[in-house]
């Protein structure tokens, strides 16, 4: 997605909020408050629009969260048994 995502922008297909934690590059379910940005304030509703100044739209084309690509968990597991 190009440009800055506004707090009130929604998906044209489903109407879901775009400026939310689940779409942020810093979102990490395993991190404290599920965010890798230490200065960000805690957000309780991860799927709702918020005012976080640290929001950076996640690049889904980069393969985040898919487990694919070189160095993925599957590749590392296979490397253990070589």
Q: How many domains does the chain have?
A: 1
| Torsion sign (Cα): 35, 38, 39, 44 | positive
Closest CA to 19 of 51, 67, 41, 42: 51
Q: Is residue 74 part of a domain?
A: no
Contacts of 8 by beta carbon, 8 Å cutoff, 6+ apart = 17, 19, 49
User: Taking residues 2-18, what's their average pLDDT?
Assistant: 88
pTM: 0.68
Print the domain residue range for 34.
1-62
pLDDT digits (tens, 9 = 90+) for 68-82: 445 567 777 778 887
pLDDT digits (tens, 9 = 90+) for 17-36: 999 999 999 999 999 999 99
pLDDT at position 40: 95
């Amino acid at each position: 997605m190009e440009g800055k995502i506004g707090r009130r922008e929604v998906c044209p297909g489903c109407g879901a909020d775009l400026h939310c934690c689940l779409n942020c590059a810093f979102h990490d379910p395993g991190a404290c408050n599920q965010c890798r940005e230490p200065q960000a304030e805690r957000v309780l509703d991860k799927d709702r629009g918020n005012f976080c100044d640290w929001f950076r739209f996640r690049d889904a084309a980069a393969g985040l969260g898919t487990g694919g690509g070189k160095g993925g968990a599957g590749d590392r597991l296979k490397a253990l048994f070589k």
